[in-house]
Amino acid sequence: MNSLNYNSFRDEISHNPLLTREQEVDLSRRAKKGDRQARQKLIASNYRLAISIASKYSKRGVNFDDLLQESSIGLIKAIDRFNPELGNKLSTYACWWIKQACMQFINENISTVKVPTHSRLLNSKIKQTVTDIQRRFGYTPTTSELSEILSVTEDAIEHSNQANSRYLSINGSSNSDDDNSYSLENKIDSLELTPQEVFENKELVGIIKRNLNLLSPREEKVIRLRFGIEESFFDNENFPGVQ
């Protein structure tokens, strides 16, 4: 849905007047009995609530149209489960279902790696608490302090922080402003040994091999048994190129 469509859609639903308490109860009762028109009317009249809540979550890096669809599903769920006999307003009940639908959609789509909703919610609480303490007292709380404040274990806090940390793409640039920046993949490649290091390693192995000859047969056997090395391991042919 582009912005033009969205605006015309919004104009269209604005023609659906808000329901009075009596109308809401009456339509809900009829919808419960299977009246599809009553259900449709309830959805149309409360759709602006879904738009309002979805727009609050729109800056979370997800597509707004998709978010709107999800919030509508939340609204429909709420209408289907609403019990008018309890005396609450539909909007009071529906807003939690709409929020839940939005949060779940964001959680499932904001990153490639799926993090459980409870962990994401805990992380959000942790961040909020840290910001609050920093603002009020000027220091960053430790994990144990956070554990005490939020009444969760230190492990849960650490797991949540770990699970909600930012991800790096292996092909992503290390610095977007720098043309000479190189990707994580290149960095990993650069960890491979240079020809000089390979040569030095071979030389070191050669030196070690020469010194293995200093071991008595008894020492050699005990070392072999200790580290699970085969008997032929200390033979010269296992070290090609070593004199």
Residue with Cβ nearer another protein (177 or 235): 235
Tell me the two tokens of residue 229: 């090395």
DSSP-assigned letter for residue 173: B
Nearest approach, Cβ of residue 146 and another protein (Å): 26
C-alpha to C-alpha distance for 31 and 144, rounded to whole angstroms: 51
Residue with Cβ nearer another protein (179 or 237): 237
Nearest approach, Cβ of residue 227 and another protein (Å): 5
Residue with Cβ nearer another protein (136 or 226): 226
Nearest approach, Cβ of residue 169 and another protein (Å): 31
Q: What is the DSSP string of 178-194?
A: -TT--BHHHHHHHTSPP
Nearest approach, Cβ of residue 230 and another protein (Å): 8
Q: For binding to another protein (CB under 8 A), which residues are involved? A: 201, 204-205, 207-208, 210-212, 214-216, 218-223, 225-229, 233, 238-240
Residue with Cβ nearer another protein (59 or 226): 226
Q: Count the helix, strand and coil residues of the chain and give each as a percent rounded to the nearest 5.
A: 70, 0, 30
DSSP-assigned letter for residue 161: H
Nearest approach, Cβ of residue 218 and another protein (Å): 7
DSSP-assigned letter for residue 239: S
Residue with Cβ nearer another protein (15 or 226): 226
Tokens 């977007």 map to which residue? 176
Cβ neighbourhood burial of 70 (10 Å; 0-12, 13-18, 19+) = buried
**Contacts by 130-139 with C-beta closer than 8 Å and gap 24+?**
none
